Every structure is written in C-alpha cells, then in structure tokens.
Structure 1
Amino acid sequence: MKKNKVITADEAMALINDGDVVTTTGFVQSCIPELLHAALEKRYVETGSPKGLTLVMTAGAGDSKGLGTGRLHHEGLLSRVIAANFGRMPKVAQAAKENRIRGYNLPQGVISQLYRACAAGQPGLFSKVGLHTYVDPRHGGGRVNTLTDEEIVKVVEVDGEEWLFYKATKIDVAFIRGTSADPSGNITMEKEALTLDCLAQAMAARNNGGVVIAQVERIVDDGFLLPKDVRIPGILVDCVVLAEGEMHRMNYGVMHDPALSGQIRVPVTGIARMKLDARKIIARRAAFELPPNGVVNLGVGAPEGISSIANEEKVTPYITLTTEAGAVGGVLASGSSFGAATNADCVIDQNQMFDFYDGGGLDMTCLGMAECDEAGNVNTSAFGGKLNGCGGFINISQNARTVVFAGTFTVGGLEIAIEDGKVRIVQEGRSKKFIKQVEQNTFSGPFAQERRQPVIYVTERCVFQLTPEGLELIEVAPGIDVERDILPHMEFRPIIREPRAMDPRIFRDEPMELVKDLLNLNLCERVSYDASRNILFLNLEGFQVRTKADIDDLREAIVDGCRQAGKRVNSVVNHDGFKISEALYDDYAEMIEYLMENWYATTTRYATNGFLRLKMQEALKKRGLAPHVFERKEDAHAFLDRAEKVNAAFGETDEDDTVASAA
C-alpha cells in the first residue's frame, strides 16, 4: 500500500533522537525550512529533548537575530556544530567561543561536497581547498575552540603533492525544503530561488539509514508532478511537512518574487544607479578587472556593487555573474535575496557550483576583507572577538584565476567626500584593516604567490597588489596624500615604488564608458608614431591582458600603426601598470617575436614593476629574443638612442645586427 508521507511538524520532530547528526538547508536568508527549525526548538524547550545534537550546515541560514538556525541556541540542544558560517546564529557562535559546544568552521564548498561523499558511502573528501589557511591542521584544522579536540582534517601526500583529507560525518536527519510534494514524497522546487544541496543531503541521510524531512508549501495529488520537475525523488523522503505564510517565505525580506525563482523574466534597465560614495568608488575600480566573456563570482558587501556597476556601464552582456549558491547569469540579487539572481540563465546545485569553482572555472572573483597584513594574508572568518566563519571564501579565493579583495581602507565611522574628482577624508575610521598580522588566515598571500595567482586589494583611496616581496601600493586616488592619508593608518609600510593615480573616471558622477576598456575599443589611441624619429610609441599603461583575444587585438592595433609608417619602425613600449595573466606571457612573447620579424627595426620597453620585468625577460629569452626591458623610461629611450646611432654609423637595418651592436 502507498504510504501518505504528509505529517505535522511536531510528528516529524519526534523522529529525532538524542545525539543525532542533523543537517539543514538554506543560504544566508533564502530557502530556509523555518517551520522545521521552529518545531525542533519548540520540542526541546517543552521537553528537553532531543539533546546533544550535531548540526551540519554549509552557508549561514538565518537573519542573525534568532531565526533560522539561530533558534537552536538553547543550552544542551547542540553539542557540536560543523558549519561554514557562524555569523547568522550569533548565540550558537557565542557558545562555541565560550567552549560550551564543540565546533568546526570548514569551507562551504567542502561541506557541500562532503554530502555527496556521505551519500556514496565514502570516508571523506580529498581537496586542496584550505591548504595554508586556518583549516589546515598545521594551523588549527578548522577547530574553533580548545574544547574541540578531534581532528577531522588531515594533510596527506599524493604523487608528491599536498592535499587535505576531510573526514565525512554521517548524517542521521536531513532538513530540506521544496515547493510542492505529492503524498509519496516527490519534491519540486518551482518557487524556490535556489536548489542548494537538498538532493545530496537527502541521499546522505537516506543511505545512512537516517530520516529525511521535507518542508513544502503545497501538497498535490499523486501523478500531478512532471518527472523532470521533481528534484528530490520520494524514495529519499521519509516525511513531508506543510508550511504556510511566514514559515515558508522565499527569504526573510521577500515573501515570493517570481523573477528570482525563474518563473518570469523582468526588465532590468530601471535599476537605480548607485550614489557616488566610497562603496561605488570601490566597485567601479574593481569593475576594471572584469574579464570579457569571463565567469565571475561576487562576495557579499562591497563586492556586490560590481553587479550594479556592470549594469550601469552596460557590460553585463559581456560577463557571466555567478553565486556559489548556484545561480548562473542574470543580475545578482543583494540584501536578503543575496545568492539568487534576477533573470538567471540557470540554477544548479550548490555542490556542482563548487565543483566548477574548485576546478578553476572562475575567471575572477571579488571578495570582501576584514583584515589584511603585509604578506597579503586576508581574514574574514574571525576578528574583533567575533566568530563569523569563512563561508565559500576559501574555495573561491584559492581557485579563481584572478582575485580582487574589496573594502574600505579603515572601518568604523569612516566618512569621505568626493569633490571635483578628488577624495577627501572627512572622518577616519576608528579601526585599521591593514595590520601587521591577521588574527586568522582565511586567505594565504604566500600560497597565492607560490601559485602565481594575481591578487589586488581595492579600497576607496588606494589599490595594493600582491608581489613576491609582499603588498605593494600601486594606485592612489586623486586628492589622497600617501604620507597623510595612507601610511599613518596602516600597521606596516607597504612596498612603494611609483604608484600611479587611480583612473579619474572613477571619481566623476557620470558613466565611465567601461565597455570600451573591456572590449579594447580604445586600443588605437594607445599607438602613436613620430615620423621625424621613426619611433612608434605604444602606451600600455594600465592595459590588462586577460585572454589571447586581448593579445590579438593589441597585435592588430600595432600592425595598423606600423603600416601607416610604411617601413620598419623603432618602438618604445610603456608597460607601467600593465597587467597580464600568468598563462599568457608566452603568447605575448610570441606577438613580440612576430613584430620583430616583420615590423620592428628596434624595440625597447620599460616597467617599474620588477616582477613584470622578470617574467617578460624570461618569456622573451625563451624565444631567443633580446629582452631590453628597463625599469625607467629614460633608460629605454637611452637604449633606443644608442641603437639609432649604431644604425646611422653602420647603415644597418637588420634587427639582429642592430641589437647586438647597441647592446
């Protein structure tokens, strides 16, 4: 006989035993099975049972004021928590800080993928995510207090490479959420903003002999649901609880928005422009790093503003924004809807998104920063006596091809004014963000350098870049004085060579025409020719080579300039502020080789960035080319003058003879 799996919330909670391992779904304020959390709290408060539970969860699921998993704070209800985020259940976090419960703060993607390991009966997960951070057992193993003594993360070596092995925790009870269910327990998600890990969680509990409890907002007849609409099959579900009204909101700020659930598409041209303040300045500068036709992830806080800037600058069609929660494309939502997207192209499960991220699928990420130190380490997980948690930060920051950290330079009462295109500090923040050493290492600067990962740090008044020697000041906002507005508010002195001015367009309350930069539409303006000296000047200051297509565009612009000259030219190239992806140095050197063979008589270039000079010299020498990469413009011009004199004296035009003689 078919069993009707629809029961009350109280009946469902009676299935949970003392000491069970309970997992729940939810992302920030969305897709939370609120009725199930409330019913578990009610049973414990009234009966003192079940007690000593272990809570396993990925992202935070609550409003930070007591809803969601925040309801589970009662003394004795929880004995252990394994979570990526503690900030949305502050009383639970406080219990962990005070050694009243055991706790682990693991990367969100790791926990998400561990559900699949549990479902498949595997002992755990191998991953490089977390190496050289506080999750690494050599630096704490993700344990949040001294009461937590068991190691669930180990360092292992496979074929000479270090990996972390995360031990799987078997699931006894899974709280999941959907929209519709039939009496057999088949679950659909047509009105949900995200699907998260509900399928993997249900399978993990079911295959461990546990209980799967699904919260839905409507019950339909058997046979009503279409097979391809069912996201969790009834064979995985033990019971279904009907929730209505406030207990089944899309998120705490929105009852239901069909544009976020993908049921309709809406125009987005009417999105209000951000006001020109510190947040917009940061988002604008970070937007210059967007990779055309690339895949991007944006963190919560200041980074969210990039989505608005992309829309304002009309570059949204040329990038794909994603969230770790599973949204692909569209306009990323903010506030209580963070994690979802309006007009998304699709929504995939959270663990699948982290597979994509961990495998290197992200071209760029922009994330927030609470603290940063002189080695480029960043802390977002535990600071100022607060246990916040890493969320998806470690997965994302370690595996994105380019990382942009974004946030105000100081925090706590900071006020700035933007006057005539300049920044003025009206009131400095009370606390420094750039400190001698971070309290907890959520991102390892040295590890990023070891893997040649490009990293910059964007604030409203300056920009830093991670170099082998540490943090280097590379850009300063107009109106900002380094000695007055930057150095006194840092606990260390960054490397200072020749920082350039931040792009003045960032500080004007008008569109920046960013699309022209991202699509290289202004390249012809970077090429100029002095016929009297037969010198082709190429100004690549601030130019960024993200893809091979950028190199092709640059080659075309240079060749056009050479064609107009009508003969081989001497070239001088300004590489100050020039940026190039680590994987593209050889392609760039190949372009230079082509130009020397076909268009250049002599070429020289300069860059103040020592690391760039070194990498360029290595790439050119590999191809048997004389590098001629100087630190100063004057040295580059002096080399060209010597080459011209040699040419005049010997009447030579052959590049090899000229370079050999001039050298």
Structure 2
Amino acid sequence: SLLFLFIYKITLFPIRCCTSPRMCVLHPQVRDSASSALQDAKLRDGSTILSGGFGICGIPMTLIRAVRDADAHNLTVVSNNCGLNDWGVGILVASNQVQKLCISYLGRNTCAAKLYCDGKLSIEFIPQGTLAERIRCGGAGIPAFYSPTGVGTVVQHGNFPVRYGMGGQVVEVSQPRETRIFHNQLHLLETAIRGDIALIKAFRADTAGNVQFKNTAQNFNFDMATCAAYTVVEADTIVPVGHLPSHDIHLPGVYVDAVVQSREPKRFEIQPSYRNTAPSSDPNLQVRELIAKHATNELKPHSIVNLGVGIPTLVSKYIMPHHGIFLHSENGIVGYAPLLDPQCEDCDLINASKEPVQLVPGSSVFSSSQSFAMIRGGHIDTTVLGAMQVSRHGDLANWATDDVQRIRGMGGAMDLVANSKHVVVTMEHTTKDSVPKILDTCTLPLTGSRCVDTVVTDLATFDIDKSSGTLYLRELRPNVTLEQVRRHTPVPFIHSHHSS
C-alpha cells in the first residue's frame, strides 16, 4: 500500500528536475579577471576578434585593455568602427597590434586613418547593415545571403583600396560581388563572418552567462556574441542565477563562455551641442539650421524617419510631438528626441551621431541587425542624409572623397538609400569654394545609384525624376532668386513660377 501511495503521489505531483540554481548552471562562467578569460579563449597572434559597440557606446573596454596587455599581434578586428585614438579598439590600433580592420566607419580615429594611408594597416569598409547581417548569419549557421545594399557602388564592383604600400601605391583591393536578380532587383552575394573571440559589453549578466543589455549599448553586442568560437562578456553587474527573469534575458547563456566584471568607466564620444532649441548665432550653423528646418517639411505625419549624421541630426529640433513622427536610429532605437536636460545624459543611450538622446513614450530599443532588418524590410518611411554630391538622376555620393586621408567609411548610408521608401538629401548648395554639388554625374564614389527623391539646400528644394534624370525646382528660399540657383546649378531644371 505504501508503494501504491508513492506511485500515486509522483503521478499527480511530478518531481522538478532542477531544485536549485546550482543544478541549472551549464558550466561555471565567471572569471577572476579579463586576462584569465582571454587565456581560456586562447588569444594568440593572428586571432580574429569581434568587438561590440557603436562608436564608444557599449564597448567592452575592460576586455579590450586586457587584449592590449596580452601583447597579441597581427590581429584582425571586426567592429562597427574603431573607437578613438585612446579609447576602444583604437588602443589596439595605436599599439600596432592590429593588421586588419573590418569596419563600416572609421570615425574620429586619426591614428587608424594615418596607418591606413601609410600602408601599415588594412581596412575593409563594409556597409553597416551588411556588416550586422554578415555577423548575424555567422552566428545562425547561414554561410551567405543576398542583399540590395551597395548595388552600383564599389561594394558591387570592387577595386577599392584595402591596403596601401609604403610608397602610397595600392597593394590590395576589395573584391567584386557575385550578383543575382530577385523580384526584378539586383542583389549582391555577401558571406557570413565568424571570429575566434567575441568581446561583449553587457549591463547585467548572471553566473550562467545570461545577459541583459541597456538601451543602445546592445548594438552589435548581441550578434557578435553568437558567432565566435569563444565569447567573453564583461558586465557592469554580475548576479547569481535566478536573479534575471527569464523573459527579460536578451542573450541566452548558451552563447557565452566566460563572464568578467567591467572595471572601466563609460565615456561620451561627442558632447551634446543641440540641447538648445533657440536659433544659433553662428552664421555657419544658421545655414545648416535653415536647411534642416525646410527638410522637416518633407516628413509626413505619423511616419518612421531615419536621420543621418550632420545636418540631418538638426532636423530633430523641429519635429514636434503633435507631428506623430517616430525617429529611427540605426544603432537600435525607434522613438527618440533631442536631450533637453543635461542631468539625464546616459552613455548607454545615443543616436547615430553619437549624441545623448532621450526616449519618448512608445519607443523601443533593439540590436543592430534588427535595426537594419527594419530598413531592408521597407519599414522606414523616410531617410534624411547629408551629401557631397547628387546627380540629376538621383545618384548619391556622401562617404568618400578623392583624398584618402579624409575617407571615413559609408556607415549605414548604403543600406538606408537602397531600402528606404523616400530619400531626402540635405546639403549646402555648393562647397566652401563655391563648387556646385548638384551635378550631371557624380565624380566621387557612390553611396547609391538612382536613390535620391528630394534635395534640400540653402538655396532651394528640388524633386528628382530618377527615370528621366529631370530636376524640378519646387521651392526657393527667402531672398534667393532663380538666377542665383541657375548660376550654382550646372544642370537644367524645371521650375514652378509659384515657387517661393
């Protein structure tokens, strides 16, 4: 009878497999130091390192410093950009430990730019969304994929300098992409990226390696954690197993091999300069603000809008809550606004210009790969970008000049112009030397071909018929004459006599 009662009870009340957190841990995760974690990861000369972060937001600085101290050389570093001369991946570049960078944007790292020009560093520039997806595919076991990003540019055709010789000659160039047509649109074949070691920054992690990210510090960290042979997470806070609710875990511990305590401070790359919504007294900024204000008129109420770096960032000053516009930033936000209170600055919450911002009601944050999935999937209504040149057919050049020392990379611009429903360019009508920027044909490397719909300058607003290559002058700025516009626009255009 006792045996029957025991069987009866276990049938009604099954025994739980894990009765304590200790039994649920797959294997010990926490290491005493970053250096010991890197020893376990078998860091060595020639390793390929994946380093999370966007600018210097969400960078694993404790681990990066440990890599520098380990004195490993000839490293290949995959990162969205390479930090500053004295911060982020930049310290590995400055110590001559990196032989190749795979990045989307060089940014303000003058040391890396000089080494590239001097033939001491290879740089493979990759469109930001393509970089994110190549990393995501690496973690998902997908060897390659097709993307429309970069069609008609050096990404498709190759032959862009990857490395210079000591005498300034090009010794290595990018390779052309295999192409295929889907749904009457040309696509490029891109291959997945995997690495030896992933360096990841987290807000919280438990001792089983489960991870939470904070705001825009998630960026590339999530996807990079999934596609390396060994993943090390540095966390602001480490908690026991069970302290992170299962539904609040962003990165499962199955991807993580080691966790270390973060010991480095956080920094802003750019101090905010647009908190004040009052007009600027700087004449140069006044021109840029004029362009930004008129660009705001191109945005439809209740739309999703991406703002690029430079003049486009100023557009956010003129978007009011009643417009119902949600701003998207490729580093992982939908729904942000300029930061008005300096005391609310958060190093883990920035826009694509790397300025601190604030979230608005209804906002969301996510990874870089998900951000660009939104872009490629056609969920962004309007993109506003800066430009160096625009052609009458809507070709855009905004990332590279003839001067190699000024090349910074394409960032996310190629992805945005290839996939957004409406592309608005904001720029001064001419260069500082009065050279026109609206041309018959762009002479600089293209960001995208036949992609621009509207051009907003300090002189006028134009619409572009991309199929016929026709410019339509829609609006003149106050106190600007038609003759002025003609003098600074070396291509024909059609104007409305009602323009004002």
Same fold (TM > 0.5): yes
2:233 is aligned with 1:211: no
CA distance in 2: counterparts of 1:29 and 1:431, whole angstroms: 35
Shift of 1:125: 1.9
CA distance in 2: counterparts of 1:381 and 1:243, whole angstroms: 35
The one-letter code matched in structure 2 to 1:478 is P
Q: Deviations over 1:244-274 (max 9, x none)?
A: 4xx342634689xxxxxxxxxxxxxx96334
- 1:372 aligned residue: 390
1:228-377 to 2 correspondences below 5 Å: 228-244=247-263, 247-249=264-266, 251-252=268-269, 272-275=277-280, 277-311=286-320, 314-316=321-323, 318-331=324-337, 337-339=350-352, 341-344=357-360, 345-377=363-395
Shift of 1:110: 0.7
Q: Deviations over 1:390-412 (max 9, x none)?
A: 11101111111111011222344
Q: Deviations over 1:301-348 (max 9, x none)?
A: 11112211012xx444x2221111111113156998324641241112
Structure with greater helix percent = 1
Structure 1 residues 378 and 11, CA, compared in 2 at 3 Å: closer, same or farther? Answer: same
Structure 1 residues 494 and 204, CA, compared in 2 at 3 Å: closer, same or farther? Answer: same
CA distance in 2: counterparts of 1:359 and 1:220, whole angstroms: 37
Shift of 1:98: 3.5
- Decide whether the 8 Å contact of 1:25 with 1:175 is kept in 2: yes
2:175 is aligned with 1:162: no
Shift of 1:287: 0.9
- Decide whether the 8 Å contact of 2:52 with 2:219 is kept in 1: yes
Shift of 1:33: 1.9
2:479 is aligned with 1:479: yes
- Tell me the secondary structure at the aligned position of residue 54 of structure 1: strand
- 1:111 aligned residue: 131
- Tell me the secondary structure at the aligned position of residue 153 of structure 1: coil
2:475 is aligned with 1:495: no
Specify the structure having the higher radius of gyration (Cα).
1
The one-letter code matched in structure 2 to 1:498 is H
CA distance in 1: counterparts of 2:138 and 2:457, whole angstroms: 42
CA distance in 2: counterparts of 1:254 and 1:275, whole angstroms: 17
CA distance in 2: counterparts of 1:7 and 1:408, whole angstroms: 54
- 1:223 aligned residue: 242
Shift of 1:487: 4.8
CA distance in 2: counterparts of 1:159 and 1:479, whole angstroms: 47
Give unmatched runs, 5+ long, in structure 2. 1-21, 165-169
The one-letter code matched in structure 2 to 1:235 is V
Q: Deviations over 1:413-439 (max 9, x none)?
A: xxxxxxxxxxxxxxxx56654456332
CA distance in 2: counterparts of 1:438 and 1:115, whole angstroms: 32
TM-score norm. by structure 2 comes to 0.80
TM-score norm. by structure 1 comes to 0.62
Q: Deviations over 1:348-367 (max 9, x none)?
A: 22111211111111111111
CA distance in 1: counterparts of 2:463 and 2:358, whole angstroms: 33
CA distance in 1: counterparts of 2:383 and 2:90, whole angstroms: 29
CA distance in 2: counterparts of 1:90 and 1:434, whole angstroms: 30
- Decide whether the 8 Å contact of 1:24 with 1:174 is kept in 2: yes
CA distance in 1: counterparts of 2:161 and 2:184, whole angstroms: 24
The one-letter code matched in structure 2 to 1:351 is S
CA distance in 2: counterparts of 1:73 and 1:95, whole angstroms: 9
Q: How many residues align?
A: 445
- Decide whether the 8 Å contact of 1:105 with 1:144 is kept in 2: no
Shift of 1:471: 4.3
CA distance in 1: counterparts of 2:299 and 2:163, whole angstroms: 35
- Decide whether the 8 Å contact of 1:273 with 1:308 is kept in 2: no
Question: Percent sequence identity over matched residues?
Answer: 23
- Tell me the secondary structure at the aligned position of residue 172 of structure 2: coil
CA distance in 1: counterparts of 2:497 and 2:217, whole angstroms: 43
Structure 1 residues 26 and 274, CA, compared in 2 at 3 Å: closer, same or farther? Answer: farther
Q: Which has the higher contact order (CA 8 A, sep 6+)?
A: 2
CA distance in 2: counterparts of 1:101 and 1:438, whole angstroms: 27
Q: Deviations over 1:267-295 (max 9, x none)?
A: xxx96334482122111111111122211
- Decide whether the 8 Å contact of 2:471 with 2:494 is kept in 1: no
- 1:23 aligned residue: 50
Structure 1 residues 293 and 495, CA, compared in 2 at 3 Å: closer, same or farther? Answer: same
- Decide whether the 8 Å contact of 1:21 with 1:53 is kept in 2: yes
Give unmatched runs, 5+ long, in structure 1. 45-49, 256-269, 413-428, 449-453, 504-663
The one-letter code matched in structure 2 to 1:81 is L
- 1:466 aligned residue: 464
